[in-house]
Amino acid sequence: MKILLLDKNHPLITEQLSVKGFLFEEDFTSPYEDVLKKIGHYDGIIIRSRIPIDQNFLEHAKNLKFIARVGAGMENIDVEFAKKSGIQLISSPEGNRDSVAEHVLGMLLILMHRLFISSQEVKNGIWKREENRGDEILGKTVGLIGYGNMGKAVAKRFSGFGCKVIFHDILPDIGDEFATQVSLDTLKKEADILSIHLPITKETHYIIDEKFISEMAKDFYFINTARGKNVKTNDLVKALKSGKVKGAALDVLEFEKASFENLDTENDDLQFLLQSEKVIVTPHIAGWTVQSKQKLAQVIVDKILAQFSGH
């Protein structure tokens, strides 16, 4: 099988699959139009986020048997058309769920215990104790929306903090020893901390908006390591200003480019997030650790071999 690599990934992908007889071509720079001209020659592609795999692309990919995304989200792919065309879709959320879970906890602890603010103050010669009094996770209720690979890994990490973890998901009966499944109404009533773990779809676009925030019974902390467009930033900013959202930890922003490489817009809401003491922003790195780079690649290799090793 001939495979086209469109993004740089861990070398173990080519190393392990070459041994099994797969042939590779790397192309990390050609624009969409140039890839289109040659995509018909390949049986598989391995991608991250650089090039959108839309219907036009798939129509040119006459011999494509699979698309492997090194990561969790599939929004850069026309999934419906790919399935209709008999193309296997492979992703690897198992590979970076632990990284995401640690990032969630890290951001939340920094936010609630004012670790970054107080550290910067001390480095600048300011010694404030009462003003930097923290807030504990112990005894609080953590509400997760989405209980797939990421949600489960996050719940597991919270289990040692002496808090109650609840979640809402569209699939029934998926609770476990780390979290209890509840209705969305119950989650809104009980959660002190809200963390979302959702793909981006028509239903989840702007799921966190003014209406949702106003339906939360308590003032709450908000964490987003999913997708920027799950959240209507303008409504989040209003809630931060009013105090309804006590603090926000954001690894993803509505204003990112589709490739996630950088931000594509400047506006007042973004400026507020970047300047507010109540907000932590990281550059879409929750899933990026030394270990996850390797694990993501290994999951992709294992899934490709499970389906195509006899070809």
User: In a structure prediction context, what are the per-residue pLDDT tens digits for the chain, which is 311 residues long?
Assistant: 999 999 999 999 999 999 999 999 999 999 999 999 999 999 999 999 889 999 999 999 999 999 999 998 898 999 999 999 999 999 999 999 999 999 999 999 999 999 999 999 999 999 999 999 999 999 999 999 999 999 999 999 999 999 999 999 999 999 999 999 999 999 999 999 999 999 999 999 999 999 999 999 999 999 999 999 999 999 999 999 999 999 999 999 999 887 777 787 788 999 999 999 999 999 999 999 999 999 999 999 999 999 997 65
Residue 262: per-residue pLDDT: 79
- Among 256, 261, 266, 311, the one annotated catalytic: 256
133 has catalytic annotation: no
Residue 266: per-residue pLDDT: 80
Q: Kindly state the tokens that stand for 168.
A: 């809402």
For residues 218 and 239, the answer to whether their CB atoms sit within 8 Å is no
Q: Nearest-CA neighbor of 76 among 59, 55, 96?
A: 55
284 has catalytic annotation: yes
Q: Are strands 2-5 and 141-145 parallel, antiparallel or unpaired?
A: unpaired
| DSSP reduced 3-state for 179 | strand
- Among 48, 50, 157, 227, the one annotated catalytic: 227
Q: Phi and psi for 173 in degrees, rounded to 5?
A: 55, 55
Q: Nearest-CA neighbor of 69 among 144, 133, 13, 139?
A: 13
Residue 311: per-residue pLDDT: 56
For residues 221 and 249, the answer to whether their CB atoms sit within 8 Å is yes
The predicted model scores a pTM of 0.93
Residue 309: per-residue pLDDT: 78
- Among 48, 157, 197, 284, the one annotated catalytic: 284
256 has catalytic annotation: yes
CB atoms within 10 A of CB 231: 26
Q: Kindly state the tokens that stand for 274.
A: 């970047």
What does 49-117 look like in DSSP terms, one character per residue?
A: SSS-B-HHHHHH-TT--EEEESSS--TTB-HHHHHHTT-EEEE-HHHHHHHHHHHHHHHHHHHHTTHHH
Residue 222: per-residue pLDDT: 98
Give strand ranges (E) for 197-259: 220-224, 245-250
